[in-house]
């Protein structure tokens, strides 16, 4: 990460206290995605083409995008309300059924006839007793934004949250979450005192006020206008994050760096910023949805009134748990508490000079 002071922070003791999350009222709005997994066992090479033939073993559905952010918020103990749009199609049904089984409030998810629910079908191959690997992904995407009346209605429901939630997370996956009606509605919720966190994919939306952005490294480069070479070390990452915070008028930027951990800049963060090493075991099973987990945990930490560095450590630990599971997953609270109990010895923060 570049030169750092190496000053460890004993005040991260007690960071495992997650009970504060249960008092929080949180809303998530953005692009809902249906994740479809098809798993097979390699059997032979096809006679028709030089491709592998898989014997079908199982299929399952999971939640992606804003739906997965909401699942993470709920798993971390907070009350959660999900707002968004799906099509009236075969992908929406299993997605909504999953959310209902997990106790999520999805009454503000509107079904839009004639519009395609964004769907990612991942084909996984693996022999028995081995972790299956993704060999193919097929995306089904809407041909354009949802009808304006649906977008206006969604924005109206978001605006009605003003004064009724402690945090609002906006999940942008490039399917229209940052359209102007919704941006204006989110700003009204922010003015009423909610913490607002944007997990950006395509842009910044022109929000008037954001508490935090949670880009990954690729998004940080694109949204800050930096080239990949500029983000090869810690100082370069911090420069890009500060530039992005200024562009977005955001109080904090939490950059998720994959196996390099996370970086944080913003108001009240001492020195030039803070880094935390990646949490979890060395062997990662699936990184899908780790950014959703990080955005959810960081937003909850801010809404609970924690110092931003403390919120980052919890977000990092939570993300480290989900990457050890196949598919989009959520952290187990007991496991997260156990991981956080070891943070002072294994993951102390380091401030830059």
Backbone angles phi, psi at 83, to 5 degrees: -130, 135
The residue from 172, 282, 292, 342 that is catalytic is 292
Cβ pair 126, 101 in contact under 8 A: no
Both tokens of 110, joined, read 């509107």
Cβ pair 74, 103 in contact under 8 A: yes
Distance in angstroms (rounded) separating the CA atoms of residues 340 and 306: 15
In sequence order, the 6+-apart residues with CB closer than 8 A to the CB of 305 are 20
In sequence order, the 6+-apart residues with CB closer than 8 A to the CB of 127 are 41, 42
Distance in angstroms (rounded) separating the CA atoms of residues 168 and 155: 13
Backbone angles phi, psi at 243, to 5 degrees: -60, -40
> How many Cα atoms within 13 Å fall on the side-chain side of residue 17?
10
3-state SS assignment for residue 240:
helix
Cβ pair 238, 263 in contact under 8 A: yes
> Is 31 a catalytic site residue?
no
For the chain, the farthest-separated pair of C-alpha atoms sits apart, in whole angstroms, at 64
In sequence order, the 6+-apart residues with CB closer than 8 A to the CB of 129 are none
Query: CA separation (Å) from 135 to 117, 121, 124, 132?
Result: 23, 11, 6, 9
Distance in angstroms (rounded) separating the CA atoms of residues 283 and 288: 14
Neighbours of 157 (CB within 10 A): 18
Q: Which residues are catalytic?
A: 292
């Amino acid at each position: 990460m570049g030169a750092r002071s190496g000053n460890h922070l004993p005040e991260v003791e007690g960071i495992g206290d997650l009970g504060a999350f249960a008092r929080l009222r949180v809303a998530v709005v953005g692009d809902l995605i249906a994740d479809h997994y098809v798993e097979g066992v390699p059997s032979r090479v096809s006679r028709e083409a030089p491709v592998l033939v898989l014997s079908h073993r199982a299929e399952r559905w999971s939640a992606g995008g804003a739906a997965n952010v909401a699942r993470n918020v709920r798993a971390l103990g907070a009350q959660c309300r999900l707002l968004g749009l799906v099509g009236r199609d075969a992908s929406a049904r299993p997605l909504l059924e999953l959310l209902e089984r997990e106790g999520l409030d999805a009454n503000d998810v509107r079904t839009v006839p004639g519009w395609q629910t964004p769907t990612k079908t991942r084909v996984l191959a693996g022999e028995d007793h081995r972790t299956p690997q993704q060999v193919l992904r097929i995306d089904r995407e809407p041909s354009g934004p949802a009808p304006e009346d649906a977008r206006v209605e969604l924005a109206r429901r978001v605006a009605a949250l003003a004064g009724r939630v402690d945090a609002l997370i906006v999940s942008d996956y490039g399917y229209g979450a940052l359209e102007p009606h919704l941006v204006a509605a989110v700003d009204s919720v922010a003015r009423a005192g909610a913490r607002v966190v944007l997990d950006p994919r395509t842009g910044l939306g022109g929000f008037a006020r954001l508490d935090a952005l949670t880009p990954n490294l690729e998004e940080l480069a694109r949204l800050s206008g930096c080239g990949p070479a500029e983000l090869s070390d810690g100082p370069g990452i911090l420069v890009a994050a500060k530039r992005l915070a200024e562009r977005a008028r955001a109080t904090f930027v939490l950059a998720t760096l994959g196996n390099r951990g996370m970086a944080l800049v913003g108001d009240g963060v001492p020195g030039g910023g803070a880094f935390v090493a990646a949490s979890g075991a060395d062997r990662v099973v699936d990184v899908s949805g780790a950014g959703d987990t990080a955005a959810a945990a960081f937003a909850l930490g801010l809404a609970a009134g924690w110092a931003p560095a403390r919120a980052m450590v919890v977000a990092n630990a939570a993300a480290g748990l989900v990457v050890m599971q196949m598919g989009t997953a959520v952290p187990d609270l007991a496991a997260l508490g156990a991981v956080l109990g070891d943070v002072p010895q294994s993951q102390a923060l380091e401030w830059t000079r």
